[in-house]
Amino acid sequence: MGGVESTRRYRAGLRGSETQRGAEVTLADSAPLTGEASSPFERGATLGRYVVLETLGSGGMGVVLAAYDSKLDRRVALKLLHPRTSQDADGHARLLREAQALAKLSHPAVVSVYDVGAMREQVFIAMEFIDGPNLRGWVHAERRTPAQVLAVFRDAARGLIAAHDAGIVHRDFKPDNVLIGTDGRARVTDFGLAVPKHAPVPVVAASSSSSHGSMSGRLTETGMVMGTPAYMPLEQHAGRLTDERSDQFSFCVSLYEALYGVRPFTGATGAELCAAIKQQSVPPAPSGTTVPRFVHEAIVRGLAARPNDRHPSMRALLRALRPRSRRGRTWMQTSVAGLVLGTAALTVAEPSERPCSIFTGRAAALFPAERAAAVRDAFLATDLPNAAPSFEAVSRDLDAFSDRWATTAHEACLATERGEQSDHMHDLRMHCLERARAQVDATIDVLGTADDTVIARSLEMVAKQTNISVCSDTEALQRTSVLPRDADEAARAAAAFDVLDRVEVLRMAGRKDEAKTLLTEHVDALEASTYPPTAAGLAWHRGRIAGGDNRADEAIEHFERAYTLALEHGLLRIAAQAASSIAFYYSEFKVDLERADDYIRAAIALARASGSKRTESAALGNLVTLRVRASRFDEALQAAEDSLRLAQEDDAHPILIGHAMVTKAQMVARVHGPKAARVLLLEAETLIIDAVGPQHGHLVGVYNGLYDTARKLDEHQTALRYANASLHQAQAAHGTDSLDEAYALANVATALGKLGRVQEALTMLARVDETFAREYGKDHPIRSTTLNNLASLQVRLEAWPSAYALFGEARDIQAATADGPSEVLMLLDRNLAEVSILMGDLEGAAAHAESAMRAAQALYGNDHSVTGEVLTTQGRIALEQGDYAAARTALERAVSIGNDTPSEFAITEFLFARVLLESPGSTPADCARARAMARACESVFAHAAGRDDMLDEVRAWLQAHDG
């Protein structure tokens, strides 16, 4: 929606606001204070550089204070052991363990430790201050949806993962030891029981209560191990060795309790509780629950009595709690192509053949007339509208490859005959060419069994397999190629590559299950190979298969083996591609951008050293994705420019160059706006049409980009034209009732809504939502984009409650899987703020707008037009509240930032004009400026489709205030 367009029905007035602190900081379990004062420090007292503000919690071991750090000018939580406890070796060591554990961690989901030491004979830890409730209090504060609960627990899971990566087991994870900040983010705290992995659990006298009332009903017994029995796994009850799977059990108990309101295991005593865990008497999900089945199943596995029966790690559990998606596309966000993993340029030597004239015949044998006829028949049998033109384009590309292959092989042969290169170099060049020929041969085999998916991908499959420029780079071949040692090894390698080539082509063709089956059938023979390119290739493909099944840890393990083998034997292209794959999985599955960054840098360096511009271009394409995830858009644009330049220098297929242009255009749009992006998109359109014609589905990305630029420029008729062009391409490539058609229909519906054809748009979006729900499930993030646009249409119908409900549902879905700041969440928060204004809920509007502002600043910084749009919303709220000073500050800043969308900027200017004229004490100059700005806005809205509401409002305002 980009901001609710109508402003006519604002109702002035500010609801009274109430704030509740609710900050609960827990101490390790201990009895409440009796003999000592529960608050031994008065407000204003100084403890070194810390000034006491208030007491947050207290217990038998110590007290937690809110304090001000005068040195670093920030608020902190100060945890102190009581003097008598500080003298106790166990208590002293326990607090220091917590400090040491937390000091090792630097993660958004773990409470940060700033300082540790002793003062007034008391051990202390200075920690990050979290102004919010603990997880138990948060769950009970109001009714929470499963999506909300899961989103918070996913944050907590990431905190535990960070601890486990640092070699730390928490051993007392429970809802009381997770704090929820005002930003809604969960942080794990209270690592006082944390020990290194696999350490035995000491048995101590457990206490009878906590430092606050949120833990009533827990089991406690004298002589039990440290921890909270109700959340402890059997191995911890028994004092045996613990590891990260112990924390996983505690996490699943907590999550089960938060979702269902009861704990999975109960017992009046520790013995009864252990018996329940052993019997695995987990109650089934309550009837009528909205908790997804895959979530319940994931939790139950994590509650297994035996550690080996639980998930292998917290990362594995976190993945199991995420809804599965078969595609990663979105039509609402400016999407960037996912990490381009590339294909392994694997090599095997075959005996060179002379004289040099034989190569023309070998090339012609690759795609003879009878083989071409079989592929053509398979294409036409699909009855797709683009089948015939797709075959013609593929046929041209294969014929061109044959000619290029013959010429390159002939030149390599002649260079050896003339004494310009050694026999060894001739063999290196020929085995490079023969590997390329074998890969294309496997591609043609799959083309001969074409279905609609194969046809849609056929041109790109051929384009990626027909690059042989590297076979003429003698320096790179000398550095990066390994020949078989003898004829026997060459024969075994050729047989292995027959399998691996077909596995790769099947994967590119979308036939993952066939690829997996084929690899499994031959894995024993392939594992027996000692030829480095074969071994590295096997590891690579096993990584791809595991990754396709969402087994990220296993995928990384295989890719790391491929990476190590490739580095050991100088197979730099394979090493570069493996490093890119590892970067992808660390980024997407482990949310470890730092490690992903290390691998992608290595991939780029290795690709450059390999001499393959195509591999380097692909690695730079991956860098674009990583930089976008980190909101480093300028660097993303530079990487996109470099990737495109290398693709052009490498004389890559026009489709691949066109795709690189689209990626660059997406970055240009972010950094420089839609007008600059349009130039690149039109160039990409011309390039692709000139190369393969207009009917192959490869223009969908181009037309989606052109639609988006036209929409942002308020050119809604043009936007509709490009949306329909994209729809036509999708239907030609994939038929009707497909996901591809649904994505295109969504854009058409949005364009129709902007043109006032609301009922048509509603009908179309309902069909889109039905398709997405059927294919992805109702909780998949892609549905949030459809719901957002359905809500926008409800706004145009002035159905504010319906719009708010749809925006809210979209936000819940998106928040459940978001990892940090999200463009979609930012947009939805702004839309919720705008609708809240229309409903007269200014307090709610302000909260949504503040959330949107935090995300916009994190994603775009302070000077981007998107941040300016959120400032406009904040200025609007302040104006309706009568706070003219705050409104002027926000709107003046938004005007200075600017916006490429004329109607969006006109809204900002009109609101600013209102502030200038309506503010108490406005000067004649302010009034004159305000009227001039309003008249300019009137002109903009008069020429903008779908802005009649704003035009009416501006004219009414001018009539009331002009003169």
Q: Is the dihedral of CA 565, 568, 571, 577 positive or negative?
A: positive
Half-sphere exposure of residue 11, counting CA atoms within 13 Å on the CB side?
Answer: 10
Q: Which of 621, 607, 602 is nearest to 574 (CA)?
A: 607
CA gap 769, 774 in Å, rounded: 8
Instruction: Give the neighbor-by-neighbor strand order of the sheet with 113-119.
Output: 46-47, 50-58, 62-69, 74-81, 122-128, 113-119
The answer to whether 620 touches 336, Cβ cutoff 8 Å, is: no
CA dihedral of residues 747, 749, 751, 753 (deg, nearest 10): -150
Peptide bond into 355 cis (omega under 30): yes
Provide the pairing of β-strand 178-180 with 113-119.
unpaired
Is-catalytic flag, 172? Answer: yes
Report the distance separating Cα 118 and Cα 80, nearest Å: 9
At residue 98's C-alpha, the angle toward residues 115 and 199, to 5°, is: 145
Q: How far apart (Å, rounded) are the C-alpha atoms in residues 669 and 912?
A: 26
Which residues, other chains included, contact 100 with Cβ-Cβ below 8 Å and sequence gap of 6+? none
Distance CA 161, CA 317 (A): 10
Integer Cα distance of 697 and 685 in angstroms: 12
Q: What six digits make up the tokens of 29?
A: 């379990």
- Residue carrying structure tokens 């003046």: 892
Backbone angles phi, psi at 434, to 5 degrees: -65, -35
Residues 6+ apart with CB under 8 A from 213: none
Rounded to whole angstroms, the Cα distance separating 562 from 568 reads 10
User: What are the backbone dihedrals phi and psi of residue 34, each rounded to the nearest 5 degrees, phi first?
Assistant: -125, -65
DSSP letters of 457-470? Answer: HHHHHHHHH---GG
- Tokens standing for 297? 């199943």
Catalytic residue among 172, 441, 812, 900: 172
CA distance 897 to 406: 57
Q: H or E segment at 126?
A: strand 122-128
Q: What is the DSSP annotation of 738-770?
A: SHHHHHHHHHHHHHHHHTT-HHHHHHHHHHHHH
State the SS3 of 271-314.
Answer: HHHHHHHHHCCCCCCCCCCCCCHHHHHHHHHHCCCCHHHCCCCH
List Cα–Cα distances, 473 to 159, 434, 570, 783, in angstroms: 48, 15, 16, 48
Q: 10 Å Cβ neighbour count for 730?
A: 25
Give the whole-angstrom CA distance, residue 139 versus residue 142. Answer: 7
d(CA 897, CA 872): 11
What value does the CA radius of gyration of the chain take, rounded to a whole number of Å? Answer: 32
Q: Which residue has the tokens 């926008």?
A: 792
CB 283 within 8 A of CB 122: no
Distance between CA atoms of residues 959 and 963, nearest Å = 9
783 near 813, Cβ under 8 Å? yes
Interior angle at CA 248, CA 246 and CA 252, nearest 5 = 125
- Cα–Cα distances in Å, from 920 out to 193, 882, 924, 934, 959? 60, 10, 12, 19, 20
Report the catalytic residues.
172
